[in-house]
Amino acid sequence: MSKDFFQRVYKIVSQIPEGKVATYGQIALLLGEPRSARIVGWAMKAAPEELKLPCHRVVNKFGEMAPSYVFGSMEFQRDVLISEGITFKENLCIDMKKHLWSGPKDI
């Protein structure tokens, strides 16, 4: 994938509001690249810190946290999301029906 793909991912991620989450697959679909969810994950891992993206708001389709090596721990990501109003089910997954973002105003 091109550097342009990563920039397009970052543009979408920058628009995810507090209290909402998006999935890797959802972002890929919004970009017209429905089979590129893993590449969206790579873009998240490579995101420059100076962009201050809300990468913690991108989760898998089940509402599970990123692997521990991404944010230091799954608990850290969960704590940040809880502080933003995200609720979790008993299985420790995000309540996706309640918190899944409907997408950006423009791409």
Q: What digits encode the pLDDT tens for the residues 7-66? A: 999 999 999 999 999 999 999 999 999 999 999 999 998 999 999 999 999 999 999 998
pTM, full prediction: 0.91
Q: Which long-range contacts (CB under 8 A, 24 or more apart) does 7-10 make?
A: 8/107, 9/40, 9/43, 9/44, 10/43, 10/47, 10/51, 10/53
Catalytic position from the list 44, 55, 58, 66: 55
Domain spanning 3-99 has what CATH number?
1.10.10.10
Torsion angle defined by CA atoms of residues 74, 53, 61 and 72, in that order, rounded to the nearest 10 degrees: -10
| 93 given a catalytic annotation | no
DSSP 72: S
